[in-house]
């Protein structure tokens, strides 16, 4: 195993422990997972590291603003005068 791949696994561990609050048993479980990761080829370790970073970004909700009622107010600046007029395509259904 190269030094670079060992660093990737260590950085992966730091990312996970930093992002999640874990108790001792969870940390032990993660430690066993790292033992398995160490046995993977460096290329697969890098893919796994990239995938975990992707998942962390995907499910991270701390910094995301949730839409609220009225948040789009003022974004529509023009609307056709006949916006509410019946459409010719739906005349047979009316």
> Which structural domain, as residue segments, surrounds residue 20?
3-59
Query: 36-74, pLDDT tens digit by residue?
Result: 888 889 899 889 889 988 888 888 766 667 778 888 888
**Is 83 inside a domain boundary?**
no
**Is 53 inside a domain boundary?**
yes
**Is 92 inside a domain boundary?**
no
- Please tell me the total count of domains within the chain: 1
- Among 65, 84, 67, CA closest to 75: 67
Which is more confident, 51 or 34?
51
Q: How far apart are CA 77 and CA 8, in angstroms?
A: 50
Which is more confident, 62 or 78?
78
**Is 55 inside a domain boundary?**
yes
Query: 6-22, pLDDT tens digit by residue?
Result: 555 566 666 666 556 66
User: Within a 10 A sphere around the Cβ of 6, how many other Cβ atoms?
Assistant: 13
**Is 38 inside a domain boundary?**
yes
**Is 47 inside a domain boundary?**
yes
């Amino acid at each position: 195993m190269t030094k670079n791949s060992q660093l990737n696994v260590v950085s992966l561990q730091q990312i996970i422990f930093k992002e999640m609050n874990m108790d001792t048993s969870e940390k032990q479980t993660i430690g066993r997972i790292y033992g398995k990761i160490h046995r993977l080829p460096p290329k697969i370790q890098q893919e796994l590291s990239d995938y975990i970073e992707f998942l962390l970004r995907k499910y991270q909700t701390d910094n995301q603003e949730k839409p609220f009622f009225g948040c789009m107010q003022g974004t529509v600046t023009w609307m056709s005068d006949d916006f509410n007029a019946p459409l010719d395509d739906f005349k047979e259904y009316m």
